[in-house]
Amino acid sequence: MQDDLIVVAGGGGFIGGHLVAELLRRGHRNVRSIDIKPLGEWYQVFDEAENVVADLKERETCLFACRDAREVYNLAADMGGMGFIENNKALCMLSVLINTHLLMASQESGVERYFYASSACVYNADKQRSADVAPLKEEDAYPAMAEDGYGWEKLFSERMCRHFREDYGLTTRVARFHNVYGPYGTWEGGREKAPAAVCRKVLHAQATGVHEIEIWGDGNQTRSFMYIDDCIRGIDRIMHSEIEEPINLGSSELVSINGLVDLVEDIVGVKLRRTYNLSAPKGVNGRNSDNTKIQRYLGWEPDTRLRDGMEKTCEWIRDQYLAKSALQAGVA
């Protein structure tokens, strides 16, 4: 089975790059990594993989991608942090073409197993109005009131996976990711999520001596954040399980954005004056992962402490920040 073809859609992205790395580490010798970004913009590139630059929204690309594959992991999507998804709803919705065409191609090509990366953004907004939120159970996605744009595309694509399983016998597995973070991810430019954005802002404040930070919203909104290593382990466990319905994949360690800033300040060793941009996108007031089901099915859940994961993430972003600053200084 080490020679069977495994396809990672979105392999040039944050999670996809880590997944390709793990598959190669485990000895898989036939990994096809596909992404729309130019190769120079991939977060991680591995010579041992077949690296393909192509648009998976196109049906012909998906037919090529899935040809002779045993497993397909769909991590490809136009997405980013709250600022990006609130301002690019149509673009996020167009990711439905990727999942639709990959499912069709997988079914036609005889793929054995298909993984779809969904999101906690599918959950009913009425369940997320309080910062002191009850952890979200899988059934809380219905009655449907998903995050506009991005969340609706994810919910619809989950249903597509279900019906391809029911109607065509394609083995599909779906995980609802809760805020994945870690090294080799987006840390600037507008698509970054809260952990990377906070690290960058705190490091910038330390480097410039301007000890201030702008926080989107009032900082009391709460989230849980899952470290990338836990995410990759969870993908593997879910893909090779008998769990047919969508399932949460996220940490249950809840923190406010203010608390996240406190944590990063402590890691970096600086204290900042805070300003709050109440007109900026902030998402729902509270969101946390109920891990009862994954514990029951697999006897497992993500277990990396937020502080441990954030220390590694801050260290990586510090290196990227310093390298970019040195390059800019050299150009100047």
Q: What is the pLDDT of residues 295-323, one digit of tens each?
A: 999 999 999 999 999 999 999 999 999 99
Residue 58 has pLDDT above 70, yes or no: yes
Residue (of 70, 321, 44, 325) closest to 187 by Cα position: 321
Q: Tell me the average pLDDT across 139-146.
A: 96
Give CA separation, 148 vs 97, 125, 154, in Å: 17, 10, 10
Residue 43 among the catalytic residues = no
At residue 324, the pLDDT reads 93
- DSSP, collapsed to helix, strand or coil, labels residue 227 as strand
Query: By the 8 A CB rule, do 278 and 151 touch?
Result: no
CA atoms within 13 A on the CB side of 272: 31
Q: Tell me the average pLDDT across 169-173.
A: 98
At residue 259, the pLDDT reads 97
Query: By the 8 A CB rule, do 70 and 109 touch?
Result: no
Among residues 73, 114, 116, 150, which one is catalytic? 150
At residue 332, the pLDDT reads 55
Residue 131 has pLDDT above 80, yes or no: yes
Tens digits of per-residue pLDDT, 3-41? 999 999 999 999 999 999 999 999 999 999 999 999 999
Q: Tell me the average pLDDT across 53-73.
A: 98
Question: Which residues, including other chains, have CB under 8 Å from residue 73's CB and lie 6 or more apart?
Answer: 6, 7, 8, 9, 16, 19, 115, 117, 235, 239
Tens digits of per-residue pLDDT, 84-100? 888 889 999 999 999 99
- Alpha-carbon distance of 73 to 75, in angstroms, equals 6
Q: Determine the Cα angle at 270 with ends 305 and 224, to 5°.
A: 25
Q: Identify residue 214 by its one-letter amino acid code.
A: E
Element (H, E) at 206: helix 194-208
Hey, what are 223's tokens?
């989230």
Residue 139 has pLDDT above 70, yes or no: yes
Confidence class of residue 271 from pLDDT cuts 50, 70 and 90?
very high
Average confidence score pLDDT of the chain: 95
Predicted TM-score (pTM) of the model is 0.94
At residue 328, the pLDDT reads 85
Say how many Å lie between the first and final Cα of the chain, rounded: 52
Residue 83 has pLDDT above 80, yes or no: no
At residue 313, the pLDDT reads 98
Hey, what are 247's tokens?
């399932």
Least confident of 15-29, 180-194, 225-239: 180-194
Hey, what are 216's tokens?
């989107």
Residue 173 has pLDDT above 80, yes or no: yes
